[in-house]
Structure 1
């Protein structure tokens, strides 16, 4: 199989998964243009890199014939030790079998015992039957669901969300006046959680959930809810390759908010941060850095409001986003100073702590420091075990396992987190 055939295989798997070249590149530490060149056969990649792409795109082992690819380095010569070709072939099969098996069951970890993984693409169009419930009870259940998300308990959240959305819909439909507005607020926030989870799963259901969240939020008349839903819609737009449109939506909504009020000021900060990252994915460095600076100024003017969003509007969070932005812009060396001053323990939720450590892992990986990358990945696992089982992180782990440097503990970590069959 030559480079053109390899490229066609990767392109087909990407399209089948409904992923953009930008998303694949971010997961495998390549630019979107480099992914395009790989898919067209114009850029040759070595076998460890091919493994990273295969792991992320869930390409079955039998589809790969890397040993026959002209110009590709055999893994046995890369590792620099005395393993035989046969031993390396066994390791390849174990890795890819483990990745495909883990991806086939669930993206973000196993569900409750005996429960099938929730397919949000189906669940959002076939909600279960539900009866209206008192608003205080509904709000309390949504608060519990939000805590599950912030604690990175994605499997449990996935089992809960369809019923919660159905109950919120029934409650909204049975309400009038002010109660209906409050029910719309509850419905919007339940759909926001669905959009957040769908984004973790690389699912197109994020578009559906975000659109429904925004419709309900606008009916509620609550600016915070509108901002929260708009952020999710912008993330869905960005992940489909529409970074410029996402930045426009976020900055327009940020301008429309009354920044003199603490609550809306905090929302504005969060929209600016997401806008900065969206601009970076579109390779617009000047806009990305300007939005980061504006967000930092907002944190100085307005205190964070705990629990307002799943992202806190704090200086610490601005620094975490700054690392993300610099990684995406291809300048991870500029992020090292930021990472060194970042106190991740000050981030209040497991999901955000895991995200910060993920970005630090990507930073060190881009800089070629496998040991530091592995240390950061272990911190992700410590903060949120389900987070480290996501496809992008399994691909990062695969890269370490088959990289040029042997790192003690990586194989066990790969087996434990689903990147390698146990």
Structure 2
């Protein structure tokens, strides 16, 4: 009980292109998938409204690109998707407008996720607009998803306490008895736990993790939330990340040993799992294990390992005391070291 209180701009062809996108574009390590997002937010391309079924299909295709870590293709598709979703919402009324607002909110969620991964300030604008559109949808699940990306943006700017406050407040308003809202609530608790950990609040971080763990043990797993699942594996990954942030990575070794990353459903989530495991080993001074985790990230999602945070980890390992076979070639290949 105590823990409870802690609390046509984008054409159909474009959507099809996202679904069929491969990883060939990952061969350009210096490319920034989020480069066009700022202009897309402030000077969107012209677009016409489309039927809700088509808008839903386009949003789903963009989500698949994110979950597959095809970030270059996602970055190319998002400007048109945002413009089309906004035009569709603006032209609709009543229930159709609410549904279009939900799709627009999720397009902004993807924009904020991609911008955050690339350390772009566009994440702030996208996350704020996501929450506004989500509230207009009148549906709690998009509101929770948008609150999560806004809190991530807050945390990245150093406002971890505000992030925790937003997340726990939104979590408290979600119905814990309904499966999908309960699952979203769990993801908010996990993000709040990691946010608290980045601020050094150990008691809050661990209590929020424990509450999220209680939730996933009490409720059936709900796959298919928009960008992250509410599962035991996700709880374990967030626990490893929080322990890293709190400066006690040794406590995460046992958690990592019991985690089967291969059972996680998407490339993006598996890559994130290996990232946190790599950070754990790096903090413990094990260069070989760190590099092994980085290689797993690359195998799962070649574009993920080229993100700024992963290139920084690679560079830090490269210039550290350990000499790891194959690391220099990996650093060149992923853009952490000039050829």
Distance 1:216 1:392 in 2: 29
Shift of residue 307, structure 1, vs aligned partner: 1.6
Partner of 1:122: 39
* 1:106 aligns with one of 27, 31, 42: 31
Cα displacement string for residues 77-124 of structure 1 (whole angstroms, at most 9, x for unaligned residues): xxxxxxxxxxxxxxxxxxxxxxxxx88x4345xxxxxxxx73322221
Match of 1:415 among 329, 332, 337: 332
TM-score w.r.t. the length of structure 1 is 0.72
4+ residue stretches of structure 1 with deviation over 4 A? Answer: none
Counterpart position of 2:299: 382
1:366 paired to 2:291: no
Q: Give the aligned partner of residue 135 of structure 1.
A: 52
For structure 2, the 5+ residue unaligned runs are: 1-27
Preserved CA contact (<8 Å) 2:89 2:100: yes
1:184 is matched with which residue? Answer: 101
Give the aligned partner of residue 356 of structure 1: 273
Partner-residue secondary structure (3-state), 1:195? helix
Report the equivalent of 1:169: 86
Does 1 or 2 have the higher relative contact order (CA < 8 Å, sep 6+)? 1
User: Rg: which structure is higher?
Assistant: 1
Q: RMSD between aligned alpha carbons?
A: 1.2
CA contact (8 A) 1:107 1:389 kept: no
CA displacement at 1:407 relative to structure 2: 1.1
Contact 1:251 1:272 in 2 (8 A): yes
Superposition TM-score, scaled by structure 2 size: 0.90
Following TM superposition, by how much is the alpha carbon of 1:300 offset from its aligned partner in structure 2, in angstroms?
1.6
Deviation at 1:203, TM superposition (A): 1.0
Q: Is the 8 A contact 1:361 1:373 kept in 2?
A: yes
The alpha-carbon distance between structure 1 residues 365 and 107, as it changes in their structure 2 partners (threshold 3 A), is: farther
Of 118-127 and 384-393, more deviation after overlay is shown by: 118-127
- The aligned runs of 1:383-398 (5 Å cut-off) are 383-398=300-315
Determine the structure 2 residue equivalent to 1:292: 209
Equivalent residue pairs, number: 312
State the 1:302 CA deviation: 1.9
Name which of structure 1's ranges 396-405 and 264-273 shifts more when overlaid on structure 2. 396-405
Tell me if the contact between 1:345 and 1:353 (Cα under 8 Å) persists in the aligned partners: yes
Q: Is the 8 A contact 1:151 1:351 kept in 2?
A: yes
Q: Structure 2 residue aligned with 1:155, among 43, 64, 72?
A: 72
1:309 and 2:239 aligned: no
